[in-house]
Amino acid sequence: MSNIKFCTFRNWGLGILLEIRNWILEIIEGMLSSSKPGLLFGVSAFALAAFGLIILASASADSAYQKFGSAYYLLTHQVLYGFLPGLFLFFLFWRIDYLKWKRLSKLIFFILMASLVAVLIPGVGESLNRAKSWIVFGGVSIQPSEFAKLGLIIFLAWLLAKFGQTPSFSPRIPHSHASEGTGGVREGIKDFRKGFLLYFLFPGAVCGLILLQPDMGTAFLIGLIAATMFFLAGGRILHLSILAAAGVAAIGALIKIAPYRMARITTFLNPSFDPQGIGYHINQALIAIGSGGFWGLGLGNSRQKYQYLPEVIGDSVFAIMGEELGFLLCAIFIFCFFLFLWQGFKIAAGAKDKFGYYLACGVVIWFGWQMILNVGSMIGILPLTGLTLPFISYGGSSLTASMAAAGLMLNIARHNKQNFVNHYWTS
C-alpha cells in the first residue's frame, strides 16, 4: 500500500516538474521570438532577479537567523512569495495581448484605488515601520502600492493615448492616431484644464491615499513617473513648473505635519549631524560602501549586516552590495541596469500604437527613477526615501510587480518584432 502511495506521489511530482519545464521552455521560445531588444530585456530581467536572490542570500543571513533560526528563511520566503508568483505573472502578462489592458484600464484604476483605500481600514491594513501599507490574506502580506505603480502606468498610458502627442521617432505609430477620441485632442495635453489638471487628477488621488499610510517615498516616485510620462507626451514645461512648485509646497506642509521627515533633509545636507541618532542610517550606509573599497570584501563577508546597518535587505541592500562587491562590480551593475533600461526604451520606440509606446515608457521610467532614488540615497547624493532597489531588495510584492511589468514589456516587444528587425539592420 505504501509503495502504491509513493509511486502515485512520484508520478504527481514528475508531472509538475514536466509542466514547469515546458512552461520555462515556452517562455524562452517566446523571448527568442521577440525583437532583439525584447530578448535582451527579458534576459536582463531574469538576470537581475537571480542576482537579487544571490545578494539577498548574503544580506539576509544574519537577520534571518536571529529572527527565525534559519539563515535562509528570508531567501526562501522571497522565492516562494516573490519570485514564483512573479514568474507566473511574467508568463501571464507576456501571453496576454497588451491592448486588452487598454480596454481594462478604467477597471484597473478602480481596483488599485479600492485596494489603497482598503489598506487604511482598521482591521484590514497592517502596519510596519510606522506605515500602514499591507493587506494580509491567509498569512500572506500584499503591498498594494507596489501593484498600484503598474496599474497607474496602464491607466495613464490609456489616457495619454487619447490626449498625448504622437512620438515623431516611432515609425510604426500612424500620425492619424493623434486624433483618437473627440476633437481637439491633438493639443489636449497642452491645455491647462483639459490636459494638465485632468491628467494629474488621477495620480494625485493615488499619491494622496499613499501619503495617508504614510509612505512619502512611494508617493514621490509615483509623482515622478506621472510627470515624466506627461513630459514625454508633449506636456508644457510651464505646467510642469507649476507642478514642481506645488510639489515643493506639499513637501513643506508634510514636513510641518510630521517633523520627523525634516530629519531626512537634515541628514542629507549634513550626514555627520547626530550620527548616533537621525543620521545613523546614512552614516552606516556610507561606512558599508566605504569599507568595500574598489574590490569589495567578498560575497558574504559584509560586517555592516550584523545589526549595524538598518534595513539591510530593503532599501539598504545597495550598501551591502558596495561593501561586499566593491566599487568596480557596483559600477558594472549600474551600467548593466542602464543598458536594461535602454532596451526598454527601444521597445517603446518600436511600439505599433501610442498606448504601447506610453505603456513601455512608463515601465522603464518606473524602474529607472526607483533605481536612481535608491542608489542615490545610499551614496548620499539624495535624501533617504525608503524605496527598494528594483529586482534586488527583499519584498514579495515588489519583485512580483516588477516581473509582471517585465512580462508586459515582452508582450509589447512581440508586436514590435518586424519593425525592430528592419530598424536594427538598416541603422
> 3-class DSSP state for residue 416?
helix
* pLDDT for 424 beyond 50: no
Maximum Cα interatomic distance, the chain, rounded to a whole number of Å: 78
pLDDT in tens, 243-277: 999 888 888 887 777 666 777 777 777 777 777 87
* pLDDT for 74 beyond 80: yes
State the cell numbers at 277.
Answer: 541618532
Residues 161-172, mean pLDDT to the nearest whole number: 66
> 3-class DSSP state for residue 134?
strand
> Could you tell me which residue, 34 or 309, shows the higher pLDDT?
309
* pLDDT for 338 beyond 80: yes
The most confident of the ranges 32-41, 177-186, 298-307 is: 298-307
| Whole-number pLDDT of residue 422 | 43
335 vs 331: CA distance, rounded Å: 6
pLDDT in tens, 383-406: 888 899 999 999 999 999 999 999
| Whole-number pLDDT of residue 348 | 93
Residue 266 backbone phi and psi in degrees, to 5:
-60, -45
Q: Are 16 and 396 within 8 A, CB to CB? A: no
Closest by CA position to 59, among listed 68, 49, 71 = 71
Residues 57-86, mean pLDDT to the nearest whole number: 93
Residues 75-86, mean pLDDT to the nearest whole number: 95
Give the domain ranges of the chain. Answer: 34-426
pTM: 0.87
Least confident of 133-142, 326-335, 340-349: 133-142
Residues 343-347, mean pLDDT to the nearest whole number: 94
